[in-house]
């Protein structure tokens, strides 16, 4: 396992942590917490805010983004020895576009109802800054196993933030959780009615609700970090 995750040269995980060593544990911690794309770096806010009006949409797009980040990082790391530095950015763009297009076609074939709901936001994964950022900052400088783990960690961090926002907005807005999972994800066992006679709060499912929930999560993280500056903060 140690040989599998070793690299020729240890590379930093992000531009803001130049002294952090590259290990599986630090990669996971960075993606899920300290370098979280949604709460810390505030990248990919367009789908994060637009698609998070319910938990099903958030889960669908989050999983697609996680898969795109993982496959893109793995592909870029595999091609890094074959790609000249002066043409690396066009190569990254082609790799990202190919991966996202493949994911979109797979969703259209396997989950057509979900594809119809998410619509343009699936191909717009290409424009998510996290994909290009991790390809340049990490995947192009590390081994395939480490780059794959990094893409998975960054994608999982984005997924949990997107899912939490979607779940909070759906519960407060309409009193349900994962409503429509049966038709969109073929997982009816996920559907849950939290409050049967709840009148709902329209603002929660409107775009302004996404800003409020995201702001609350960022404020909560900052509060926990202030109270425990030397500990681990979600």
pLDDT for 165 = 95
Q: Is residue 54 part of a domain?
A: yes
Q: How far apart are CA 121 and CA 143, in angstroms?
A: 30
pLDDT of residue 14: 55
**For every one of its 234 residues, what pLDDT tens digit does the chain have, with 9 covering 90 and above?**
444 334 334 444 554 443 346 789 999 999 998 889 989 988 888 888 888 899 999 999 999 999 999 999 999 999 988 888 888 889 999 999 999 999 999 999 999 999 999 988 999 898 888 899 999 899 999 999 999 999 999 999 999 999 999 999 999 999 999 999 988 998 899 999 888 888 888 889 888 899 999 999 999 998 888 887 665 556
Total domains present in the chain = 1
Flag whether 234 is in a domain: no
- Position 203 in a domain: yes
Q: Is residue 190 part of a domain?
A: yes
The answer to whether residue 98 sits within a structural domain is yes
The answer to whether position 232 is within a domain reads: no
Which residues, 6 or more positions from 20, have their beta carbon under 8 angstroms from its beta carbon? Answer: 12, 13, 14, 26, 30
Does 1 map to a domain? no
Q: Tell me, yes or no, whether 176 lies in a domain.
A: yes
- Indicate whether this model's pTM tops 0.95: no
Q: Which domain holds residue 62?
A: 24-227
């Amino acid at each position: 396992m140690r040989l599998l995750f070793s690299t020729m040269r240890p590379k930093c995980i992000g531009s803001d942590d130049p002294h952090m060593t590259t290990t599986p544990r630090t990669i996971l911690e960075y993606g899920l917490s300290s370098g979280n794309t949604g709460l810390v770096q505030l990248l990919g806010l367009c789908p994060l805010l637009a698609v998070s009006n319910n938990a099903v949409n958030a889960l669908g797009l989050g999983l697609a983004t996680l898969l795109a980040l993982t496959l893109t990082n793995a592909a870029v790391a595999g091609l890094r020895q074959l790609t000249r530095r002066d043409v690396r950015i066009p190569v990254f763009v082609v790799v990202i576009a190919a991966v996202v297009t493949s994911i979109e076609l797979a969703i259209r074939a396997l989950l057509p109802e979900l594809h119809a709901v998410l619509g343009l936001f699936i191909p717009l994964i290409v424009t998510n800054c996290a994909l290009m950022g991790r390809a340049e900052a990490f995947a192009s400088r590390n081994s395939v196993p480490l780059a794959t783990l990094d893409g998975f960690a960054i994608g999982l961090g984005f997924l949990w933030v997107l899912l939490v926002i979607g779940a909070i907005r759906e519960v407060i807005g309409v009193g349900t959780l994962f409503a429509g999972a049966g038709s969109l994800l073929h997982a009816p066992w996920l559907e849950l009615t939290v409050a049967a006679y709840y009148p709902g709060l329209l603002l929660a499912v409107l775009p302004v609700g996404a800003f409020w929930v995201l702001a609350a999560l960022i404020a909560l993280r900052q509060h926990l970090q202030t109270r425990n500056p030397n500990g681990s903060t979600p």
